[in-house]
Chain A
Amino acid sequence: MFGRKRNLDDFTSEIEAHIQLEIERLRKQGMSEDEARSAARCSFGNLLQAEERFYESSRWLAWDQSWQDVRHGLRMLRKSPGFTAIAVLTIALGIGATTAIFSVVDATLLRPLPYPEPEQLVSIEDNLPGVGTRDVGMSQPEWQDLQRSGIFDYVSPAWYDDNNQTGSSEPARVSLLIVAPDYFAVLGVKPQLGRTFDPDNYTPGFTLEVVISDGMWKRAFAGDPHVLGKGVRLDTDLYHVVGVMPPGFQAPGRTTRNRNIEVWAATSFFGPPLLDHPPRNRRNLPTAIARLKPRLTISDAQSRMDALVASLQKQFPSDYPIQSGWNVRIVPLKEIVVGNVHQSLILLLAAVGLLLLIGCVNVANLLLARGSARRREVAVRQALGASRTRLVRQLLTESLLLSVLGGIAGLAILFCTKGLLLRILPESLPRLNAVSINWVVLLFALGASLAAGAIFGLAPALHAGRFDLTPALKEAARGSTGSGEQARMRRVLVVTEFALSLVLMIASGLLLRSFWDLLNARMGFNPQSVMTVRTRLPYPNDLKADAYASVSQKASFFREILRRSQILPGVEEAAVGDFGSVPLGHDRDNQTPPDPLILEGHEAGSDRFPLVDASFVTPEYFHLMGMTLLRGRFFNDFDNEESPGVVVINEAAAQTYWPNDDPLGKHLKLSPAATSWATVVGIVADARAESLENARVPEVYISMYQQIARNHPHHLAIFLRGNLDAAAIPNEVLEQVQAVDPTLPVFGAQQLNETISASLAERRFSMEIIALFALTALLLAGLGIYGVISYIVSERTHEIGIRIALGAGSRNILRMILREGMGLAIAGAAVGVVGAAIVSHLMTGLLYGVSPADPLTFVAVTMLLIAVAVLACYLPARRAIRVDPLVALRHE
């Protein structure tokens, strides 16, 4: 296109040739040289105009003009540094914040999981809706069914566990994932050293091979390049290292612990120490991950899975009672990994987008104000022949310049604060290490900047291109025109700003109230001055090596630990429990799967038992935790391995399972295989042990000294209450525990208050960020209304002067100005309340204890916004009442 363009020189010489030809013709007709020249020029007409029209018809013009606009724009911005600084800074903060949040969204939600062909990766979820339970896991035969189903290339259950690593200098706890041999084939990842498991190895029991993480390799083997084949002792069993995963490799998992795996061990899930022939109804394999056959979509896979489930139900009616409603859902693996944070991240992105929009409205307001100052300039240019499109383009160019400068500044801020921002992010955020400023993020920043420029530039530019020239030129000296339209547009902008701010503030207010309510929820236990320290008893595959095989062996260990803990400095009370008994300090899906609850008289049908959370505790636990006994009794020293089994239940369990009965004295079992019944001896008040959000989770407490449930715990939490030295306790407990058994690791020392606040980390993060955004929005809205009212006051100085001269009191003037401001604030608030009501319903899932239409929040936040508006209007209004009528009238 451009190659075909003629330049102006070519055009000029053509015209030159024309004139020469004409002169020659005329001279042949007998004219003199001079006569011919002037006649030729005359008949040609306006030479310059022809050139101009040639120039305008060519496409160079657009470029030349744009370049001109850019240079002019830069000059204008340089000429008013104050305005430019404020506008660029506003945009920079907006773009910086938006881009920062976007980079997190990009890393977590947008980018695919870091495994080959990630769209084929799924998670398999077994549900029993008939008994109200989800994700119950599968049995070994079911896993085999899935592998043979033809739906998947590979299927691997993944069983999270801790293990005790011994043999090196200090016993350590390692996070272990017990997987099927084809686990790494599912993910499709290669180790950096050695190999992974042979996917076709189905020898019974555990393969005595482990794959370790890069971190474990560096920590336990000092990065030894000859690590392959070296032994590692886990729970006293000896394994050999066969592979080392690359740095940065994370297992796909819902929680941080599930992602940061250090050791992988493989099993075929049958054979010693597991059962030789695991029954079909024993769902002890947890959630599985799988790779779909190539080109199979999730929905196709799901329908084939439904067919498989139906045929299995027909084939094994006694294992799959109709009432349990067994189904298997195929979920994209990514949903499992990022599902937890999806909603909060979208909320954050929406909030920051809203903030950017408010920033844009503010800058638009500034531009309008500047537009009135530049009225004369625009008028002069228009008088000199600049077309309206040309003027609009010029002003738009200026706005885009502002926004691009703002965007660049925003990115600069982001780059400088990157390290700090990454530290603010909650550690539990999935794919945290993937957060980066890549080209997608940069492109987003550019797009956001340009969009912002267009948004805040368009209204003022259009407005400036449409005003009447004559009065502007005439009234140049007065500096203002009382242009109704401009004032109207600024009012609209302020109303918009108020509405947007109110939406953000109400959203933030609701989150704040949720958080506050959670912090002040009646927890049902007293976390003050309680510390927990954890340890773990080994659970070797080699049963002969198990020093803690029987409950009595464990019981003597517990008694010894309790005796030694009680004499530690500052300790007033001590108790032992399993991980499940640490309030808010455990992942239920990991170490402590729920147990089936079998009530006496309702034993029929293996699948219909509800699952209940069980916590193992020593008798001291209830008093130490400050829990309230409602009826019956707590455990006592006479409840031991020889005495009949007893349990304590909470109120929620009592009301759920014995709605019309007195639970005291009733019998229950926590395993279909248990031979004897346990008796309910006490009912305690509900404690928020599972989550702060949910007060009413049925819970069964079991004595540490009795064997009632299927598994007796290996994960132990030592509870201490008293005037504790939090820094010294971990070591003191370590010494005492290792004095009893030197192979035990001691870890996870934490004050219970910290445990509780850590459980709120994600919620706190999004609440704090949104509160920050809301405060900024409030500030911007305040500045916006301040600007407009100031403008109105200066516009009306003359009128106010006359009013004062005619006897209007300062009270009247004040009322007049405030009424103006309040009108805007209330209009904005009205629109905002409607918007907030919509938004708050969308975020219901993130709220706790408040309804999305919480009147208190709505009213309080709206009042706050209006109060800020009053303040922002009061300052210019005070200026108005101080107007000296003489000066004001001379203003003319």
Chain B
Amino acid sequence: MSTQDARERLELLQGTLDLLILRTLIFGSQHGQGIARAIQETSEKELLVEHGALYPALQRLEERGWISAKWGVSSNNRKARFYSLTAAGRKQLVKETNKWKRLSGAIARILGSEPAES
């Protein structure tokens, strides 16, 4: 299913994909492949995003009204479905980002206080 080197990448935590998609779209509208690419590249290829998983997530976000979509033409003249952030999506992004920061901060504090195993 995935390549050898993909195994060393990090699997996404449940629910974080939505956050990453919203974050990616803050720079402007983008199609699915572009979103996948952007996530992988900005994470310096640490994160494994299975492209197939992206689409149900996009579908879900669209249904909730956080992103909107329409068909357009890509930079290399291909027809693609472009997603952009809605006002509600922007609000959601702020909320989710705060939540994530608190969560990761808390986890970092706990892990950091742990005596390091030799």
Contact = CB atoms under 8 A, between A and B. Distances in A.
Interface stretch (B30-38, B85-93, B95-103, B108-116): B30-38
Contacts of A54: 55-56, 59
A47 B56 contact: no
Contacts of B32: 14-15, 17-18
B107 interface: no
B33 A18 contact: yes
Interface string B22-35: 00000000011110
Most buried by A among B2, B36, B51: B51
Given A11-B55, A24-B78, A46 B1 contact: yes
B60 A21 contact: no
Interface in B1-39: 1-3, 6, 31-34, 36-37
A559 interface: no
A270 B59 CA distance: 87
Given A14-B81, A21-B80, A42 B3 contact: yes
A18 B33 CA distance: 5
A17 B78 contact: yes
B55 A14 contact: yes
B53 A45 contact: yes
Contacts of A854: none
Interface in A1-34: 6, 11, 13-15, 17-18, 20-22, 24-25
A74 B74 CA distance: 50
A380 interface: no
Contact of B56 (A20, A22, A25, A53): A53
A17 to B, nearest CB: 5
Given A42-B2, A44-B50, A45-B50, A17 B81 contact: yes
A50 B79 contact: no
A44 B52 contact: yes
A43 interface: yes
A57 interface: yes
A50 B74 contact: no
A470 interface: no
B118 interface: no
A15 B3 contact: no
A18 B53 CA distance: 13
Nearest to A24: B76
A45 B81 contact: no
A193 B34 CA distance: 85
A47 B1 CA distance: 11
A315 interface: no
A883 B80 CA distance: 74
Contacts of B33: 17-18, 21-22, 25
B59 A49 contact: no
A459 B3 CA distance: 50
A22 B80 CA distance: 12
Contacts of B60: 57
Nearest to B53: A45
A20 B78 contact: yes
Contact of B59 (A18, A24, A46, A57): A57
Interface string A486-512: 000000000000000000000000000
- For the complex, would chain A's binding face be called helix, strand, loop or mixed by DSSP majority? helix
B52 to A, nearest CB: 3
Contacts of A49: 52
A44 B36 CA distance: 10
Interface string A44-65: 1111011001100100000000
Q: Interface range on chain A: under 10, 10 to 19, 20 to 34, or 35 or more?
A: 20 to 34
B78 A50 contact: no
A831 to B, nearest CB: 51
A45 B56 CA distance: 13
B52 A21 contact: no
B1 A18 contact: no
A45 B32 CA distance: 14
Contacts of B3: 42-43
A25 B50 CA distance: 17
A268 to B, nearest CB: 76
B25 to A, nearest CB: 16
A46 B34 CA distance: 19
A45 B51 contact: yes
Contact of A47 (B37, B52, B76): B52
Nearest to A44: B51
A548 B2 CA distance: 117
Given A17-B78, A42-B2, A22 B51 contact: yes
Given A22-B51, A45-B51, A17 B80 contact: yes
Contact of B52 (A13, A17, A25, A46): A46
Contacts of B31: 17-18, 21
B96 to A, nearest CB: 20
B74 A21 contact: yes
Contacts of B34: 21
Contacts of B55: 11, 14-15, 18, 50, 54
Nearest to A6: B59
Q: Which of B34, B52, B60, B80 gathers the greatest number of chain A CB atoms within 10 Å?
A: B52
A25 B2 contact: no
A46 B81 CA distance: 20
Contacts of A42: 1-3
Interface string B51-65: 111011001100100
Q: Which of B1, B59, B60 has the most CB of A within 10 A?
A: B59
B48 to A, nearest CB: 9
A46 B52 CA distance: 6
Contacts of B59: 6, 11, 54, 57
A148 B37 CA distance: 92
B36 to A, nearest CB: 8
Contacts of B56: 50, 53-54, 57
A53 B54 CA distance: 11
Contacts of A22: 33, 51
A834 B18 CA distance: 60
Given A18-B32, A50-B53, 17 more contacts: A13-B79, A14-B32, A14-B81, A17-B78, A17-B79, A17-B80, A21-B76, A24-B78, A42-B2, A43-B2, A43-B3, A43-B50, A44-B51, A50-B52, A50-B56, A54-B59, A57-B60
7 contacts: A43-B2, A43-B3, A44-B51, A45-B1, A46-B1, A50-B56, A57-B56
Interface of A: 6, 11, 13-15, 17-18, 20-22, 24-25, 42-47, 49-50, 53-54, 57
Please name the 7 residue pairs, one residue from A and one from B, whose CB atoms are nearest each other, closest first.
A45-B52, A45-B50, A21-B33, A50-B52, A44-B51, A53-B56, A18-B33
